[in-house]
Structure 1
Amino acid sequence: MHRSVGFVRIGEKKGLKKAIKLRNELGREMWGKFWRRLLKDPYLMTRLPHSVEPVIVYKPNPTKSDPEHRDACYLAKWREFNESGEYKYKTKVCSINKHGKLAAYTQTKKALLEAHKNNIEILTYMGRLNSIDLK
């Protein structure tokens, strides 16, 4: 979205004030109560996940009779800060054969929701999370 504020005609200082005012109006209109948070944290959008759904992966589980056997599992993967301020990947893997499809999905989904509990409201607002309560 591009909008002209006419800073050449009205001057740079007045143009900057007008541009900031216009930016804040449009931001509040688009993002509602999350606008201040987006302004204060410039990297928030890069840290948010695209999806909060576990994925099905096929992990190798060889046996003597079938060395190419693969086991279907649900995988939940997210990042956390460690003590030194670096990102560390965390994963939760649940076997579908061992737990059943619904139980494996529920366990991994709960792990993802717990990992992203601070951002659940904004993810729901953006449409990246369906608001379904898991018990």
Structure 2
Amino acid sequence: MANRETKNAYAYFVSNTGYRFISEAKRGNTLKVTIPMPEGGYFYASVGYKRIGKRRGIRKAVNVRNKAGKKLWGKHWNRVRREFNLLSRLPRNLEPVFWTDNTGRRYYISSYCTYESIYDRKQEKHSLKASIDKHGRMGAYAIVKRALLEAYKDNLELMSYMNRNLGAMFL
């Protein structure tokens, strides 16, 4: 079967059917639909194609996937389906980390990655450290938090839909 949706994907994301989140079972005449859920975990469904044929079975599995995906992800479904590494690029939360070094200085630190394009694996790692002694606790927190929010500004709506911890919004 020709790769349809996954033709531009890296080998890790290519399925044996050519459709995202749909794979063929190792034995038997079944297609498995596995969709990641926004709050974690997976939605599973299966479509048998022994009587209706493989082509109609794939069409039916695509319909099941699209209906379930639209119900789970809402308006974000097309983006989740289209961007292969979207879910792996998102952080668990957008809270700066409180850190104390060996000398007793206290900092807020944020680390994040930027990508040149949505299909590119090349990432540029960034880190920002703000001193609590110099800026005060709230000032250091606000500096680092603004940098995090600026880095993920395109994904804030999706992350809030996924119930990821966004924390205080300093815009």
Instruction: Compute the TM-score of the two structures, normalised by the length of structure 1.
Output: 0.85
Any unmatched runs of 5+ in structure 1? 61-68
Identity among equivalent pairs (%): 35
In the alignment of these two chains, the number of paired residues is 126
Does 1:76 pair with 2:110?
yes
Task: List structure 1 runs of 4+ shifted beyond 3 angstroms.
Answer: 129-133
Task: State the match for 2:61 in structure 1.
Answer: 19
Give yes or no for contact 1:120–1:129 (8 Å, CA) kept in 2: no
- What aligned pairs does 1:1-135 form with structure 2 within 5 A after superposition? 1-60=43-102, 69-81=103-115, 86-130=122-166, 132-135=168-171
Look up the SS of the partner of 2:99 in the other structure.
strand
Larger Rg: 1
One-letter amino acid of the counterpart of residue 3, structure 1? A
Moved more, 1-10 or 14-23: 1-10
What does the per-residue CA deviation read over 1:84-126, in whole Å, with 9 as the maximum and x for residues that have no partner? 9732211111111111111111110000000101111101111
Give yes or no for contact 2:94–2:167 (8 Å, CA) kept in 1: no
Q: Which has the higher helix share?
A: 1
What is the CA–CA distance in structure 2 between the aligned matches of 1:29 and 1:6, rounded to whole Å?
22
What does the per-residue CA deviation read over 1:4-43, in whole Å, with 9 as the maximum and x for residues that have no partner? 3221121111110000000000000000000000111011
Moved more, 92-101 or 107-116: 92-101
CA gap 1:114/1:43 in 2 versus in 1, 3 angstroms: same
Look up the SS of the partner of 2:105 in the other structure.
strand
RMSD: 1.9
What is the CA–CA distance in structure 2 between the aligned matches of 1:22 and 1:38, rounded to whole Å?
16
Look up the SS of the partner of 2:111 in the other structure.
strand
